Structure 1
């Protein structure tokens, strides 16, 4: 690894070309294993986003494969509420080129909201999340990391990010996903189904509607930390504080139309079999809207 006594190497400087045709404009963020850069694509004559391994994590084959897998999915998938990948490069280093989104993440939006969102805004967000996740399920994938920091919103249009922990339904290790957003079955490990993503939609809508996560007990909101991808250390039941029961009723925290509150509460049932199917959830949320959503 490329670690020094002072810590990992800094991110790429503006003007650097990590691959032919791409120039770094600025560093956006650093995670436990990735650097994300604002960049310029000469071929497309537009700005884009580059996801690449941190300098100190390069050479870790598992992480490179994880990044490339996500990039290939996003390059091949086409949905108005999923971020698009323009390009996926494995040389000289694994690199994924994503479209630039001009909105802001739902987590950032929550930090600056001065009042709680209208019921129609909560329902519309839910309809759009259902649409994106239903599309993924049709392609044999569970997202498994739905949370406000993985949703970008611009003028009411939501875009889902990050398929880094996505996988097919079936057995999974304990703790897969992000602390504070895991369904009980993700926390304990075992077979995962579409119901895990129904929980993810519910916990995201709960936080958007009420201002905090279901088990923060009135505390703040946030990303919940780095997601655990199921390999190495970091998972386990301690990643979820209340794995044996559902969330408090939305109505105990704020007033919402009964069908909307019931839909969110239904998503957050501890028993996966008790949660609504995706089509049922989408229909319930759409029924709250004053005008039916346009087909996308």
Structure 2
């Protein structure tokens, strides 16, 4: 049975949603219970991989906890192995970090609390996960945190499961004892959780390098940059939690997930703990996967741009200077942290879009957004009464608040835009907001940059970035082609 089969056992395949090193991932429907499930199909099985796959099924099937993904079924059919599990409507932590890091301390601690509770449950059953990493943590749109993939988990009675030529675990998230190949304990999972906490609030991994050997060497030496050097906004209580999780000696770390849970709960206000699902749900709904950003990106961009000089010797000198600063003078990184934005405008309600990734509803004459990375940003405001947009670029300095005083919308320059398509009746969106169908005339459009999108069933969508200038009358014509054909660019007359 190929992975494109319509049914796997009693489960109807909806679509293939992913592929890992060992398995294909499908979304499916269980008709008898009318629920969505996820099916992992083992690819290229050999004895060791099959043993690991069965172990994941047997271990996970015994779990009954809100922070662990449930296993429903294990199928062997037509010489293929399948694992049927709970479908979580959400995103993995890797995606969240790539697009939203640095994450606020309270959100990071709420996520860590869910992970720690899941580990508390498994550790009391003598099961060590051994591969806690962002891609193995799911956050659902209804605010649940789930641990997945117990394929390399181990209990005290099992034999060591390894694959030839393969490290068991993910290097950047390994504990020192795991990197050394020593016996693992519950403290090893808690070290990995500390790495996740560090990465969530800084956007960087504490132990990183150009290759696997370099990463493992840093973990074994136990040297990393204090997270507050990157993000000074991290509360003192959370700094202590991270530091204790990342202790080199297991004896100096938390001795159980329960101890970690107690510290996380003490660091979080009870009002936030009691509303954790609602808060996490609202947080995840900010995610826009089209525009990743992270502290790591800013650092790498700084290094790349700083080394582009006219003279080769100068290029070498600057590169060495940056590298020495990066590795030996951690104070340099303290300048790469967060600032804030304050917007003063009329007290209408707005849709706020920051760097194409945050979609927030704000009201009032003063709007403040905290925890913005230093550097250039793009802000877009849409008045929800008039559906008019305002667009501006601004800079954020580390540790400072940038203030923008916007004029009343009626005093901002406007333009006229007309949009035509062939065939007509195409749906038109500006900056992801549907505004009508072609032919369309937009009067009094605020000046700025816009993302224009046209789509119609049976035809290829068209997306363009357009600039609207004060007093301009612009007409845009687009030809929509059937989905089997290639798109044709529109042209404009002004």
- Among residues 3, 12, 17, which one is paired with 1:28 in the alignment? 17
Alignment partner for residue 70 of structure 1, among 46, 51, 56? 56
CA contact (8 A) 1:187 1:238 kept: no
What is the SS of the residue equivalent to 1:90? strand
**Which structure 1 residue ranges, 5 or more long, are not aligned?**
1-9, 225-235
Mapping for residues 151-230 of structure 1, pairs under 5 Å: 151-154=137-140, 155-169=142-156, 175-216=167-208
Cα gap change, 1:16/1:241 in structure 2, threshold over 3 Å: closer, same or farther?
farther
Question: Using the alignment, how far apart are the partners of 1:16 and 1:61 within structure 2?
Answer: 27
* 1:3-82 mapped onto 2 (5 Å cutoff): 12-13=3-4, 15-18=5-8, 20-54=9-43, 57-58=44-45, 60-82=46-68
Partner Cα separation in structure 1 for residue 191 and residue 11 of structure 2: 38
Deviation of the 1:169 alpha carbon: 4.8
Q: CA deviation at 1:33?
A: 1.7
- Deviation string for 1:243-265 (max 9, x for gaps)? 12143222222121111111011
Q: Which has the higher strand share?
A: 2
1 CA distance for matches of 2:22 and 2:214?
Answer: 22
Using CA pairs under 8 Å that are at least 6 residues apart, name the structure with larger relative contact order, 1 or 2: 1
- Which range moved further: 98-107 or 83-92? 83-92
Distance across 2 between alignment mates of 1:133 and 1:291: 22
The answer to whether the 8 Å contact 2:103/2:200 transfers is: yes
Change in CA separation of 1:198 and 1:187 when aligned onto 2, cut-off 3 Å: same
SS of 1:136 mapped into structure 2: helix
For the pair shown, which has the larger CA radius of gyration, 1 or 2?
2
Shift of residue 137, structure 1, vs aligned partner? 0.6
Residue 216 of structure 1: how far off its partner (Å): 3.0
Asked whether the equivalents of residues 176 and 187 of structure 1 are also in contact (C-alpha less than 8 Å), the reply is: no
Q: Of 114, 118, 134, which aligns to 1:132?
A: 118
CA distance in 1, matches of 2:71, 2:35: 14
Q: Is the 8 A contact 2:10 2:30 kept in 1?
A: yes
Matched residue count: 265
CA contact (8 A) 1:49 1:99 kept: yes
TM-score normalised by L of structure 2: 0.50
5 Å matches for 1:257-296? 257-277=235-255, 278-291=257-270, 293=273
Q: What does residue 252 of structure 1 align with?
A: 229
